[in-house]
Structure 1
């Protein structure tokens, strides 16, 4: 979920460098609260087994989409 991003040109003028791959994490509870306050349903997974990074990546790949806003 992305709701904002850095202004790369403004940052470049101030620091004389271009930002790349600026990422951050958000607590799941914060995301759940945001979704609920926006009227979007959430549910807990019934899956409790430990998974490898490869298994998690496979699941995440099926749930990842590109969203573009052209205004």
Structure 2
């Protein structure tokens, strides 16, 4: 924002810092919830798959008597 002597040397550094902070903030705010939603969907699919017909299912257990 400065217009004094030497500002033409500091301006690109300020743009890079502010731009980098803005992009990293946006990426963090968007990617973190998406990753959590994907992991939740995968865990629900695994729970349904293991709950239905898996080796721990009670329908596969035979009575030894």
Q: Scaled by the length of structure 1, what TM-score is found?
A: 0.23
Return the structure number with greater helix share: 2
Structure of greater Rg? 2
